[in-house]
């Protein structure tokens, strides 16, 4: 599933594994195999519970080789995060690439790309999601990704606001809050969608739900109209 075939244990020429003959392979390939195994392992068990032994075995190599290429568990995990982060951001960027469309269309395209990617690569997504709660330095790495995405959203909202003739009414901090709300809602929906093994909604359905959820509100804000608590508010 995930990506790039993570066949457990036997790589290349299956059945050869014993008898001293270790397949010589170019470094780059081996590294990707290791990262594949690591992503699966970390997704399945979390950072702490995943063991280097298991990862090495799943990658079909010996532990010293993992250390030779990736230095330490921490760096291995960081490498996983970085690879998956790049893949996700690239996917979303690719979805939004077409300029010249309206703001809601752009947002919709981005969300579709996001949900499609997380559905296609659930282990990668799980790693990113879990990494947020694994303390430093992993949280920063994911936070950086969040900023990247949030930036995308913010520029989109800001531009849309300008187009709508609403200049500067939205405070910097409010936009930031809205972007976080949007990202959080998207993450939560992605998890919810992935968890449904049967009857899973398509990426587009999920994206539509989210657009329905938030677009009207965002549009209002850009027009300067806002919700306020009724007079009874204590």
Partner DNA sequence: GATGAATGAGCCTTCATTCAT
Partner DNA sequence: AATGAATGAAGGCTCATTCAT
Binding partner of residue 102 among its own copies, DNA, none, CB cut-off 5 to 8 Å per kind: its own copies
> Is 63 one of the binding residues for DNA (CB under 7 A)?
yes
- To the nearest 10 degrees (0 to 180), the angle between helices 138-163 and 73-96 is 10
- Let me know: does 34 contact 76? Beta carbons within 8 Å: yes
The nearer residue to its own copies, 33 or 96, going by C-beta atoms, is 96
Q: Which stretch binds DNA (CB under 7 A): 20-28, 90-98, 119-127, 131-139?
A: 20-28
Instruction: Read off the tokens for 147.
Output: 């900023």
Report the interface residues with its own copies, using CB under 8 A.
8-9, 44-46, 48-49, 101-102, 104-105, 108, 129-130, 133-135, 173-174, 176-178, 180-189, 191-193, 199, 201, 206, 208-221, 226-230, 232-233
- Let me know: does 214 contact 182? Beta carbons within 8 Å: yes
**Min separation Cβ 201 and its own copies, Å:** 7
Binding partner of residue 26 among its own copies, DNA, none, CB cut-off 5 to 8 Å per kind: DNA
Closest among 117, 149, 130 to 2, alpha carbons compared: 117
HEC sequence for 118-166 = HHHCHHHHHHHHHHCCCCCCHHHHHHHHHHHHHHHHHHHHHHHHHHCCC
Q: Which residues bind DNA (CB under 7 A)?
A: 1-7, 21-27, 30, 48, 50-54, 61-65, 67-68, 71-74
């Amino acid at each position: 599933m995930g990506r790039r075939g993570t066949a457990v244990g036997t790589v290349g020429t299956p059945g050869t594994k014993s008898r001293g003959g270790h397949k010589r392979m170019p470094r780059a390939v081996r590294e990707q195999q290791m990262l594949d195994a690591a992503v699966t392992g970390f997704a399945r068990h979390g950072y702490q519970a995943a063991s280097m032994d298991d990862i090495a075995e799943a990658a079909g190599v010996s532990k010293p080789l993992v250390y030779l290429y990736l230095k330490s568990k921490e760096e291995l995990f960081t490498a996983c995060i970085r690879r998956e982060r790049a893949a996700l951001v690239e996917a979303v960027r690719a979805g939004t690439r077409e300029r010249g469309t309206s703001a809601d269309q752009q947002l919709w395209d981005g969300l579709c790309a996001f949900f499609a990617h997380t559905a296609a690569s659930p282990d990668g997504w799980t790693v990113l999601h879990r990494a947020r709660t694994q303390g430093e330095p992993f949280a920063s790495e994911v936070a950086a990704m969040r900023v990247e995405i949030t930036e995308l959203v913010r520029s989109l909202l800001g531009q849309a606001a300008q187009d709508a003739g609403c200049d500067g009414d939205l405070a910097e901090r409010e936009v930031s809050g809205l972007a976080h709300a949007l990202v959080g809602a998207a993450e939560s929906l992605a998890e919810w969608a992935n968890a449904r093994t049967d009857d899973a909604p398509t990426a587009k359905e999920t994206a539509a739900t989210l657009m329905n959820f938030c677009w009207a509100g965002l549009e209002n804000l850009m027009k300067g109209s806002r919700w306020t608590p009724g007079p009874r508010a204590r």
